[in-house]
Amino acid sequence: MKRRKKKQNRIEEWLEIPKEISTQKPKLTTMGFEELFIENYKAILEYQDFYIRLSTHIGIININGFSLKLKEMTNDDLLVTGKIESIDFEKTVEE
Amino acid sequence: MYIQILKNYLLGYVRVTIEGYFIERLMNLCLKKGILLWKSNRKKSTLLETNVSIQDFKRMVKFAKQSKCKIKIKQKKGLPFLFHKYKKRKIFFFFLCLVVAGIVFLSNFVWNIEITGNVKIAREEILETLKQEGVNLGIPKSKIDTKTIIQKMRLDRDDLAWVGIEVKGTNVLVKIVEADKKPEIIPENEYCNIVATKAGKIVKVNALNGTPLVKEGDVIQQGTTLIGGWLEGKYTGLRYVHANGQVTAKVWYTTTKKIPLKQEVASKTQNKETKYSVRINNFTINFYKTLSKFQKYDTIEETKKWKLFSNLYLPIEIVQKTNQEIIEEQITYTTEQAKQKAIEEARKELEEQIKDKENISNTYINYQETEEYVEAQVTYEILEEIGTKEKIVF
């Protein structure tokens, strides 16, 4: 199982497939301190004016700030606008 | 993403407020089912405002019941709602369609002809030639074949170096480059004389080929042969040649100006009145009384063509008439003033005629004074080359 995964990775590397597609890791892009674009997320756990908690395949993303708005929202990407103060991650422990 | 939002604007969307304790659950449900939410804003911990499209809204109501949330519509936006608002105003729509159809219909015709690049040729002359080729105000655009018209125009007139015709909107742009008339060139193997173009006094004769017939100091008339196109030898006899050479002469340009001592000069006052009228083809609608309130006045008429965009002219003109009141005053000049004025005007007129002012060698000024007027005669003496070639006709 482990070996197979490694082989797949090598093929994907050779084909230059973007990482956010081949792996299910989230990609975060910030424009200044007012915009945050998140790709590859699973669900919204909590959404408040000052706090957003998102679950992804590898852990949880916490966003702190003021007057946070979800400007655009689709199945696999999310655009957060507002005054973002901090972003932190909680990695889920692998068995 | 933006395309999706634009599509939703076209198909209509609503701004809703969602109230409940499990808003996150509803949002996740929407995401899983592919419902697009945008511009979401959490007002309170139990209140969410968001945009959703009409079709998705119906599905969303179902999920809201599942997650025990209340949904209220706050605003309806987008084109379907806009149309719904104007649905009852049928006559308004009918006339809107009529106006649009009218504009589309009228835009198939030519309503303006613009001519640029003409300096010597009058605008009316070009319009006349265009008329003969079939380009006129009010003809359908499809009838204009620019290529053949350009070819015909260039064949008809020899003073056009280049013609370009472009149809833009309801506007026909005619661009013209004028050609200078070329002097007739006589080939080297033919015989010719050199002939004076102007009357004058010869200063220098420089004959390169041919027999000079005039000397320095001769006064000649226009058309006199200056250098003959033949050579005479003792043994060879008379032999015709292609004459060549330069003849420089003093040429006089004269004008006279008469200035009467007592003159009536019209001067403008501050009073003005503007009147408007609308002209459709040749039918004019006046918005004023035709009689002016002034006794004496100048009328300036300005027409503006009505156009929609930069090149889409319509057959409607707005005519602006400005009447300017005029007061006539008697002015009496002293002889000295009149002299000055006459000279000034004469000089101005002369300088327009003369191409190169550097060659002016002398100026003469004569006066004639009477009790009623002053007459000034100004003469410029200019050194010029006056010879041109003329073919010898046997």
Q: Is the pLDDT of residue B239 over 90?
A: no
In which element (H, E) is residue B62 found? Answer: helix B54-66
Q: Give the model's pLDDT for residue A37.
A: 94
Domain at B112-178, CATH from 2.60.40, 3.90.550, 3.10.20, 3.40.50: 3.10.20
> H/E/C letters for each residue in B164-191?
EEEEECCEEEEEEEECCCCCCCCCCCCC
The verdict on residue A91 lying in a domain is yes
Q: With beta carbons less than 8 A apart as the criterion, state whether B207 and B188 touch.
A: no
Is B31 in contact with A75 (Cβ distance < 8 A)? yes
What are the chain B neighbours of A46 within 8 Å (beta carbons)?
Answer: 24
Greater pLDDT, A22 or B84: B84
- CB pairs < 8 Å spanning A and B: 51
Is A47 in contact with B28 (Cβ distance < 8 A)? no
A66 to chain B, minimum CA–CA distance in Å? 11
Q: Give the model's pLDDT for residue A95.
A: 60
The verdict on residue A73 lying in a domain is yes
Question: Best mutation site among A39, A45, A74 for testing chain B: the one with the most B CBs within 10 Å?
Answer: A74
ipTM of the assembly? Answer: 0.77
Tokens standing for residue B88: 């009852």
Q: d(Cα B97, Cα B154) in Å, to the nearest integer?
A: 44
Domains of chain A: total: 1
CA nearest neighbour of B16 among B30, B6, B32: B30
Q: With beta carbons less than 8 A apart as the criterion, state whether B360 and B381 touch.
A: yes
- Indicate the pTM of the whole model: 0.44
Q: d(Cα B60, Cα B26) in Å, to the nearest integer?
A: 9
Greater pLDDT, A56 or B121: A56
Domain boundaries along the sequence of chain B: 2-83, 112-178, 192-248, 262-332
Q: Is the pLDDT of residue A66 over 80?
A: yes
Q: Give the model's pLDDT for residue B165.
A: 87
Domain hosting A44: range is 27-95
**Mean pLDDT along residues B106-112:** 84
Q: Is the pLDDT of residue B221 over 80?
A: yes
Q: Give the model's pLDDT for residue A7.
A: 61
Q: d(Cα B2, Cα B7) in Å, to the nearest integer?
A: 8
Tokens standing for residue A4: 């197979």
Q: With beta carbons less than 8 A apart as the criterion, state whether B317 and B305 touch.
A: yes
Q: With beta carbons less than 8 A apart as the criterion, state whether B144 and B109 touch.
A: no
The verdict on residue A10 lying in a domain is no
Which domain CATH number covers A50?
Answer: 2.60.40.2000
Q: With beta carbons less than 8 A apart as the criterion, state whether B196 and B386 touch.
A: yes
Instruction: Select the residue of B24, B38, B43 nearest A71 (Cβ to Cβ).
Output: B38
**Mean pLDDT along residues B301-307:** 81
The CATH code of domain B2-83 reads 3.30.70.260
Q: d(Cα B293, Cα A85) in Å, to the nearest integer?
A: 76
Instruction: Select the residue of A46, A74, A75 nearest B24 (Cβ to Cβ).
Output: A46
Q: Give the model's pLDDT for residue A8.
A: 63
Q: Give the model's pLDDT for residue B153.
A: 83
Query: pLDDT band for position B272 (50/70/90)?
Result: confident
Q: Mean pLDDT over all residues of chain B?
A: 83
Is B31 in contact with A47 (Cβ distance < 8 A)? no
For chain B, give the percent of residues with pLDDT over 70: 99
* Exposed / middle / buried, residue A86 (Cβ in 10 Å: 0-12, 13-18, 19+): exposed
